[in-house]
Structure 1
């Protein structure tokens, strides 16, 4: 039996891509995980979630364990609507779809909107798992560079004009993380947010706004693209993974009701009733604003510490962006192939994510790496940066 004969052509094409998650190395025990985009372990409310699950089962018995779930699933939807309203994203019930995290949301959008004849535009660099998702549906990926103010919309305008003039495929969808971007930590300026919406109208494309880190601001939170959107071109994706717990797998899509209907058609009943009901029970008892204040305080301090350690231990030729929120610092190491260096870093007991995996054209990311300040303690973070600094210095000596 020839198994691949059962796969349609689009699946065969997708399977030629790198395996999902290949960028994630096997980490040695006790490795200092500067690669992990996870919440700080002490900030994950395991006790409160345990109490919420117990209360849920006491009150509703077997209901949360059935396919249809419980009324608390609808309550979760209302809780998220209320949360979005506090951020000036006013959404009706039929304009919101709860998903199993942000990745399912992105996959649903890609599945409904993309195929091999359709192009998608992305930031360069961008979230590596989004790239993996898009490649499952199309190989037409248009990369637009970013700088310290986010997506370079003037360059996007130039690319769109050139493609239109040449009769090339224009993007149907543009994927962006405009606020505390993964991997760079940069934030799209207000002027560019407006320009991006203008370009979407002029060239008739949709914007997928990934707002996973939007509430983790170290200062004033920027206005979301969805708030600025007056005609329904923005599909807003959010998640509770970064502010509560990633393993709960609670995310959402906000969009025009016709889009939400299409996404739910393909989502079918792929809900997680118990997780969603537990999250609703948790949110009933927690002051999320108070929790966010704590998260911001901790992550701001850890971000500042990481910057201090980089300045102290890395060679002067290394540069980085200073984030105003989120989880990450994006580092450029001129003259060093960071993917090649990773093996030695792991052997020395520290991990990071090489920059190449954040680019559609991986050659563009050879000299970059992403460090996370969210997961490790400040002491282990300093030790990890010191190890990396010594390793980078040794690599730079070889090239001089």
Structure 2
């Protein structure tokens, strides 16, 4: 029996891609993790979440352990609506779907809107897991470069004009991380945000706005694309993974009610009532704005430690972006294959993510790497950059 013969055609095609998580390197125990895009351990509110669980069981007994028993599950939807309203995004209950993290939201969008003939426009570089998801459904992409102001919308417009003139199919949707992008840390300027919405209207495509880092700006929070959306073309994807705890798996997608109903059609997991009830219990007893302020201050301090260390320890040939929020910065090491550089860096006890994993054409990312300042403490960050700087200098001498 040929086991593979029972897979669908879509599955057989998807399984030809690199396995999910291929970019995750095996790290030594004592390695300084500048690769980990996770919240800092000390910033995950484990004690407060424990109190939320105890409070939940004391007040509701067995209800959160049933399919639809806890009254706090619908309360979570209201809490997320309130958070979105603080960002200028006003949605009704039927315009919001709670998901198991942002990745489930992106996968549901891809499953609902994309088929093998669809064109998906992406930033280049972009979030590697979203790239993995979209590649499961189509092989037809447009890659648009990113600079210090985010997606280069003028180049995007030129590419759209060219495709239309040549009679090539136009994109069905654009996936974009407009605020503190993963991996570059850059943010789309307000002018470009408006431009990309104009292009969506003119060329009739949807926008998937991944706003995972939108609340983690060091200064004024960027205006969400969804808040600027006058034609209901934006599917707004969010998550509490970066601001509370990734293991809780609380994400969402907001958009036109008919779209949300279609996404829910394929979401047959009956939600995750216990996790959602715990999160609602946590949020109802948390000063969210105070928490955000604390997170922003902590990550800004870590980011400053990272960029100062880079200035001190990296050679002049290296360039990087200075982020204004989020978790990451993006570094170019000219003439160096960063995948091979990682092997040497790990021996010295520091990790990063090679840039190739963030590109459709991995060769485009050979000279780049992503550094995270979210997970390690400031002392580790400085020491990690010092070690990495030595490795880079050694490599550049050999060119």
Length-normalised TM-score, structure 1 = 0.99
Q: Is the 8 A contact 1:99 1:250 kept in 2?
A: yes
CA distance in structure 1 between the partners assigned to 2:269 and 2:332 by the alignment = 44
Q: Is the 8 A contact 2:67 2:270 kept in 1?
A: no
Deviation, 1:43, is: 0.6
Deviation, 1:31, is: 1.0
Q: Superposed, which structure 2 residues align to 1:233-244 within 5 Å?
A: 233-244=233-244
- C-alpha RMSD of matched pairs (Å): 0.7
Q: Which residue of 2 aligns with 1:255?
A: 255
Q: Which residue of 1 aligns with 2:330?
A: 330
> 1:101-155: per-residue Cα shift (whole Å, max 9, x none)?
0000000000101111101000000000000000010011110001111100010
Instruction: Answer yes or no: is 1:300 the counterpart of 2:300.
Output: yes
Q: Is the 8 A contact 2:33 2:351 kept in 1?
A: yes
Q: Which residue of 2 aligns with 1:194?
A: 194
Instruction: Answer yes or no: is 1:8 the counterpart of 2:2.
Output: no
CA distance in structure 1 between the partners assigned to 2:313 and 2:120 by the alignment = 39
CA distance in structure 1 between the partners assigned to 2:220 and 2:136 by the alignment = 37
Deviation, 1:270, is: 4.2
CA distance in structure 1 between the partners assigned to 2:351 and 2:270 by the alignment = 34
Q: Which residue of 1 aligns with 2:345?
A: 345
> 1:296-331: per-residue Cα shift (whole Å, max 9, x none)?
001111101100000111111100000000000100
Deviation, 1:10, is: 0.9
* Partner SS state of residue 285, structure 1: coil
Q: Is the 8 A contact 1:120 1:174 kept in 2?
A: yes
> 1:364-395: per-residue Cα shift (whole Å, max 9, x none)?
11000000001001111111111110000111
Residues 189 and 16 of structure 1: is their aligned pair in 2 closer, same or farther, counting only changes over 3 Å? same
Q: Which residue of 1 aligns with 2:272?
A: 272
* Partner SS state of residue 398, structure 2: helix
Length-normalised TM-score, structure 2 = 0.99
Deviation, 1:69, is: 3.9
* Partner SS state of residue 110, structure 1: helix
Task: Kindly tell me the number of residue pairs found equivalent between the two proteins.
Answer: 399
* Partner SS state of residue 21, structure 2: coil
Deviation, 1:67, is: 1.8
Q: Is the 8 A contact 1:69 1:274 kept in 2?
A: no
Q: Is the 8 A contact 1:216 1:296 kept in 2?
A: yes
CA distance in structure 1 between the partners assigned to 2:77 and 2:389 by the alignment = 46
Q: Is the 8 A contact 2:116 2:139 kept in 1?
A: yes
CA distance in structure 2 between the partners assigned to 1:115 and 1:20 by the alignment = 20
Q: Which residue of 2 aligns with 1:378?
A: 378
* Partner SS state of residue 281, structure 1: helix
Deviation, 1:269, is: 3.1
Deviation, 1:347, is: 1.6
> 1:187-207: per-residue Cα shift (whole Å, max 9, x none)?
101111111000000100000
> 1:160-217: per-residue Cα shift (whole Å, max 9, x none)?
1111111112110100000000000101011111110000001000000000000001
CA distance in structure 1 between the partners assigned to 2:313 and 2:67 by the alignment = 53
* Partner SS state of residue 232, structure 1: coil
Deviation, 1:281, is: 0.1
CA distance in structure 2 between the partners assigned to 1:379 and 1:83 by the alignment = 33
Residues 69 and 353 of structure 1: is their aligned pair in 2 closer, same or farther, counting only changes over 3 Å? farther
CA distance in structure 1 between the partners assigned to 2:185 and 2:229 by the alignment = 23
* Partner SS state of residue 117, structure 1: coil
CA distance in structure 2 between the partners assigned to 1:368 and 1:102 by the alignment = 25
Deviation, 1:272, is: 1.2
Instruction: Answer yes or no: is 1:37 the counterpart of 2:22.
Output: no
Instruction: Answer yes or no: is 1:355 the counterpart of 2:333.
Output: no
Instruction: Answer yes or no: is 1:62 the counterpart of 2:62.
Output: yes
After TM superposition, which residue ranges in structure 1, 4 or more long, deviate above 2 angstroms? none
> 1:226-277: per-residue Cα shift (whole Å, max 9, x none)?
0000111000000000100000000100000000000000012341111100
* Partner SS state of residue 369, structure 1: strand
Q: Which residue of 1 aligns with 2:154?
A: 154
Q: Mind listing any 5+ residue stretches in structure 1 that lack a counterpart?
A: none
* Partner SS state of residue 97, structure 1: strand
Q: Is the 8 A contact 2:120 2:175 kept in 1?
A: yes
